[in-house]
Each structure stands twice: as structure tokens, then as C-alpha cells.
């Protein structure tokens, strides 16, 4: 009302037309910015980071959409007292065209499928296996840093075994090419965990070693300069890897960082340029005999030191519970515990460390991820919603209610998918199709450039 009368009272004045034009433009701008703000606030929930994908290869785009929002998972709808019905209608939802795309309440109709698109994955995987080529920067046995640059002699062990497995297996694989002109990607084979334990380098030296390494290869070879490092990658399982690129901006901004500590909150990690790889603990290579038949009488299991606020909360609330068995000490019968539990908790510790999730899968136990901001391993290949329950810190007090609210049909689906997906979370020497090595290669293949650069300037 106010502005209409003001506009009417001006027309006869000298600069009236300019004033009116100004007012019209001003109000248009205000209206527009409000519309944009409202739009953003309404839709940001529906547009998780996963969907704003950074993809270089257009071919591999098709079929990978929609990528589901791993960090925004809403499976445990028990909180809202409707889980059974929701999942029942989810089954039938696949039948109707309208629900195919978004499903009910934001849960995609394909959330009972292990892969975002299984057909595309299988087709892509074969193509990757056939044609993908990696050039590894060569280093001599007598290099003073051979311990950091060359594969390990012994079988990988410890918390960061994934890093060593990757290098050892890659170097003997059919993906290696000696001819840089046919390479899709260039591998910088330095090991961050070896640097961490080398007194010549140690934690403070890591960023400088990486900087010097990149300087050296960019002086001696033409490949880094051609793309600013965009077709180069390194692999790191130690959480200290977040310091690797501190002195080498192009490594952070351009190169592909394959890491076990993938977290949206760590500024060193750029989702979808970089890739998330599972951390594992070494276990016997044979599957547990009672993997499928084991009676899972306990609701949930967790064992881990009290080294973070999230774990402290879990221990405080559930430490004495009989159904949720949360231990703050390591337990010796870890295999039995996991084989006897329906759910196995991964609770964020001091650093991102996903070994517990891989371990749960190994023992056929449905992982419950209680950790905000993780970019879960292989999340751009497998659909975590289909085989795990992803919660946030705030859900800890309702944990039992949430887990008990998962219907038996839904639990059956999660467990069936655990058995399907677990092969991706295991390393082998030599590698086995679809294992952690091949799946990491597949993630790298998705990140290769669609254009092979051959001209050297
Ligand atoms: C919650 O579940 C109970 C038992 O199934 C049902 O009677 C009740 O109507 C539900 N409440 C809501 C809000 O859906
Ligand atoms: C991948 O390549 C390896 C080595 O050539 C071969 O043994 C394996 O069968 C291939 N797997 C698939 C699924 O094509
Ligand atoms: C870079 O090259 C110099 C000169 O050859 C060498 O001394 C140094 O160790 C190299 N550094 C790295 C990190 O490769
Ligand atoms: C790559 O670029 C750097 C910085 O511009 C330059 O010093 C170096 O000589 C270049 N490398 C090659 C192989 O031309
Ligand atoms: C568990 O019970 C013991 C003995 O009653 C008590 O001392 C301890 O504080 C309890 N712990 C938790 C986490 O509630």
C-alpha cells in the first residue's frame, strides 16, 4: 500500500520517470533476491553435495545419476514412528513412474540396490579393466627415498595397510604402462605413512617432500605441466595425509587424492575430484565359516577407545546397556562379537578411520556410521543407504529406538546387501575382481580425463 501511493504521487515531478524506473528496478531486485533465497532454502536439503558432482568424463555420467545423499541419510524413520509402513510402500514405489526418480520422503526408490546403477557399473568396470592405463613415475632401488617410493617387500599390515596394498598390487597389474603417451593417469608413488615414520621427514617434513617431489617431476618430465597435475594422483591412508598438499597448492586443487580419511569437513579434501578408499584391518583371508548362518542375537556392538567427544557420548549413554554393547577397551573376541551382532557401530574417533566399517562388512554385520561429514569409501560406486545406517551425532540418545525401529524386512534387505557389497572392502594379493583394489581403480577411471592429452608444449 505504501509504495503504490508513493508511486502515484510522483508522476508530475521533474525526474518522475527516472524515479519510477529506479523504484521498479529496486523492487524487482528485492523480489528476485527473496525468491532466490527461498528457493535455495527449500531445495538445499534435496541437493546434497553428492549430486553437485564434479565429473570430467561425460560418458560415465550417464546412469550414475542420481547419486544418493550418503551424509543425509534418513533410513531410520522409526523416529517418526512409521518405518514399517514407509519401507513397505517403498517396495511398491518402484512400480509407479512418479516415484522412480525421487521416491518417498526423499528416499530413492533404488535404495535397496547396492549400486547407484548396477548395469552401468558392470559395463564401465569391464571397459575400465580392458583399457585403463597408468604410468608410474619410476624410481631406482638405490634412491635414498626408496623406502617411500617403492612397493613394500612384506605383506601389508597395520592400520594403513590399504595404502601399501594399493601400490604393491598396482605395480604388478595389467594397468601399468611404460609408455606415458598411452597413460590415462600418472601415479606419484610416494607413501605418506612411510614418510610419517621416516625420521628424515616425519610429520613436519611431509608437505615439503610432496612439494619437492612435484617440483622434481615437473622439471624432469613434461606431464605435470600439461594439466597442472589434473591427471596425476597419489594414494594415502594415514589421516596425516591432510597435510600432504599444504605446500603444493596444485596438488590440492588439481591432482586426485585417493584417501582413507575422506571428510567433507577437511579442507584438504575435495569430494569428487578426490576419492575415498576404505581403511581395513588385516583379517584371515578366508570368510568366517558362519558368516551367513551365525545367529545374531545381540542388537549392536562397538569397541573403541574413548578418544573423541562422539565416542565419549556413546560410552556414556550406552556403556552399561545390555543390548547395545559399547566397550571402551579392545576386545579379544572381536570376530565373535561382530558375527553375533545385528549392527556394528562405527563411531567417529579422533580422526576419520573407516576400518570398523570395513570390519563390520567382513563379518556380515550391518554397519551403523555415527560420524558427521564423512565421504564414505566408494560412495560414488556403492549406495551406502542400501547396506548401512548412517546417523549423526545427535542421534546417539535415540540409537536403540532407531535400530529397533528398523523392520525385519528392512534389516533383511540391509544384510543381504552387506553380503553383496563386502567384496569391495577387501584387499588381496594378487587382486580379485571387484575387490578394494579394482574398485579403487574404478573410482580413478571415473576421474580420468575424457581427453587424452598428447601434445607436449
Ligand atoms: C505410531 O504407531 C502406533 C502403533 O503402530 C500407531 O497406533 C500410531 O497411530 C502411530 N502414530 C503416528 C503419529 O503415526
Ligand atoms: C580384469 O582383468 C583381469 C586381468 O586381465 C582378468 O583376469 C579379469 O578376468 C578381468 N575382469 C573382468 C570382469 O573383466
Ligand atoms: C628432488 O631432486 C633432488 C635433486 O635430484 C633430490 O636431491 C631430492 O631428493 C628430490 N626430492 C624429492 C622429494 O623427490
Ligand atoms: C614446468 O613449468 C615450470 C614452471 O613454469 C618450469 O620451471 C619447468 O621448466 C616446466 N617443465 C618442463 C619440463 O618444461
Ligand atoms: C556402569 O555401571 C557402573 C557400576 O554400576 C558405574 O560405576 C558406571 O559409572 C556405569 N557406567 C556408565 C557409562 O553408565
Q: Answer yes or no: is the C-beta of 320 below 6 A from any ligand 5 atom.
A: yes
Q: Answer yes or no: is the C-beta of 13 below 6 A from any ligand 4 atom.
A: no
Q: Give the Cα separation of 228 and 207 in Å (integer).
A: 18
Q: Output helix, strand, coil percentages for the chain, rounded to the nearest 5.
A: 45, 10, 45
205 band by pLDDT with thresholds 50, 70 and 90: very high
- What are the boundaries of each domain within the chain? 2-45, 120-282+432-446, 285-425
Cis amide bond preceding 66, omega within 30: yes
pTM of the prediction? 0.77
203 band by pLDDT with thresholds 50, 70 and 90: very high
Angle at 134 between CA 132 and CA 138, to 5 degrees: 165
User: What pLDDT does residue 21 have?
Assistant: 85
Nearest to 360, CA basis, from 445, 425, 457: 425
293 band by pLDDT with thresholds 50, 70 and 90: very high
Q: Answer yes or no: is the C-beta of 321 below 6 A from any ligand 5 atom.
A: no
User: What pLDDT does residue 140 have?
Assistant: 97
Q: Give the Cα separation of 334 and 340 in Å (integer).
A: 10
Residue with cell 603444493: 248
The Å distance, Cα 154 to ligand 4 centre, comes to: 37
Burial (0-12, 13-18, 19+ Cβ within 10 Å), 157: exposed
Residue with cell 604410468: 135
**What CATH topology corresponds to 285-425?**
Rossmann fold (3.40.50)
The Å distance, Cα 382 to ligand 3 centre, comes to: 39
pLDDT at 312 over 80: yes
CB of 303 within 8 A of CB of 327? yes
Q: Answer yes or no: is the C-beta of 106 below 6 A from any ligand 5 atom.
A: no
* Cell representation of residue 456: 607436449
10 band by pLDDT with thresholds 50, 70 and 90: very low
Ligand 4 pocket, mutate which of 180, 186, 225 (most atoms under 8 A from CB): 225
Closest C-alpha residue for ligand 4 atom 2: 225
User: What pLDDT does residue 40 have?
Assistant: 65
User: What pLDDT does residue 31 have?
Assistant: 85
The Å distance, Cα 101 to ligand 1 centre, comes to: 28
The Å distance, Cα 209 to ligand 3 centre, comes to: 8
Q: Which residues line ligand 2 (CB under 6 A)?
A: 126, 129, 174, 433
CB of 450 within 8 A of CB of 185? no
User: What pLDDT does residue 257 have?
Assistant: 98
CB of 188 within 8 A of CB of 209? no
| Distance separating the N- and C-terminal Cα atoms of the chain | 66
Helix (H) or strand (E) holding 342: strand 341-347
Q: Answer yes or no: is the C-beta of 82 below 6 A from any ligand 1 atom.
A: yes
Amino acid at each position: 500500500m505504501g509504495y503504490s501511493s508513493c508511486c502515484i504521487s510522483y508522476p508530475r515531478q521533474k525526474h518522475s520517470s527516472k524515479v519510477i524506473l529506479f523504484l521498479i528496478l529496486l523492487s524487482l531486485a528485492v523480489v528476485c533476491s527473496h525468491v532466490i533465497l527461498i528457493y535455495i532454502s527449500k531445495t538445499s536439503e534435496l541437493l546434497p553435495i553428492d549430486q553437485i558432482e564434479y565429473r570430467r568424463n561425460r560418458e560415465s555420467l550417464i546412469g550414475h545419476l542420481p547419486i544418493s545423499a550418503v551424509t543425509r541419510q534418513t533410513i531410520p524413520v522409526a523416529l517418526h514412528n512409521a518405518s514399517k509402513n514407509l519401507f513397505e510402500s517403498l517396495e511398491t514405489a518402484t512400480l509407479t513412474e512418479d516415484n522412480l526418480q525421487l521416491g518417498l520422503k526423499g528416499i530413492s526408490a533404488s535404495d535397496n540396490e547396492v549400486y547407484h546403477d548396477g548395469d552401468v557399473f558392470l559395463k564401465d568396470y569391464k571397459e575400465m579393466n580392458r583399457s585403463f592405463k597408468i604410468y608410474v613415475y619410476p624410481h631406482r632401488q638405490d634412491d635414498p627415498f626408496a623406502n617411500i617410493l617403492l612397493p613394500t617387500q612384506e605383506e601389508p599390515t597395520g592400520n594403513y595397510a590399504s595404502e601399501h596394498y594399493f601400490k604393491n598390487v598396482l605395480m604388478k597389474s595389467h594397468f601399468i604402462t611404460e609408455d606415458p603417451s598411452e597413460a590415462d593417469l600418472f601415479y606419484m608413488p610416494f607413501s605418506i605413512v612411510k614418510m610419517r615414520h621416516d625420521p628424515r621427514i616425519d610429520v613436519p617434513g611431509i608437505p615439503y617432500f610432496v612439494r619437492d617431489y612435484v617440483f622434481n617431476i615437473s622439471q624432469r618430465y613434461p606431464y605435470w605441466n600439461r594439466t597442472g597435475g589434473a591427471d596425476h594422483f597419489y594414494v594415502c591412508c594415514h589421516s596425516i595425509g591432510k597435510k600432504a598438499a599444504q605446500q603444493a597448492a596444485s596438488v590440492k586443487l588439481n591432482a586426485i587424492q585417493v584417501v582413507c580419511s575422506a571428510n567433507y569437513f577437511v579442507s584438504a579434501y575435495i569430494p569428487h575430484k578426490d576419492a575415498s578408499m576404505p581403511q581395513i584391518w588385516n583379517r584371515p583371508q578366508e570368510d568366517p565359516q558362519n558368516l551367513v548362518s551365525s545367529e545374531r542375537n545381540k542388537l549392536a556392538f562397538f569397541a573403541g577407545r574413548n578418544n573423541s567427544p562422539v565416542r565419549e557420548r556413546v560410552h556414556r549413554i550406552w556403556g552399561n546397556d545390555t543390548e547395545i554393547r559399547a566397550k571402551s577397551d579392545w576386545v579379544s573376541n572381536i570376530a565373535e562379537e561382530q558375527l553375533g551382532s545385528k549392527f556394528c557401530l562405527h563411531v567417529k574417533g579422533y580422526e576419520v578411520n573407516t576400518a570398523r566399517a570395513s570390519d563390520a562388512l567382513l563379518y556380515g554385520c550391518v554397519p551403523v556410521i555415527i560420524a558427521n561429514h564423512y565421504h564414505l569409501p566408494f560412495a560414488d560406486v556403492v549406495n551406502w543407504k542400501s547396506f548401512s545406517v548412517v546417523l549423526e551425532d545427535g542421534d546417539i540418545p535415540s540409537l536403540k529406538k532407531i535400530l529397533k525401529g528398523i523392520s525385519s524386512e528392512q534389516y533383511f534387505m540391509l544384510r543381504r546387501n552387506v553380503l553383496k557389497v563386502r567384496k569391495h572392502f577387501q584387499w588381496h594379493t594378487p587382486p580379485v575382481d571387484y575387490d578394494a583394489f579394482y574398485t579403487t581403480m574404478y573410482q580413478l577411471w571415473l576421474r580420468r580425463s575424457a581427453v587424452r592429452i598428447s601434445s607436449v608444449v
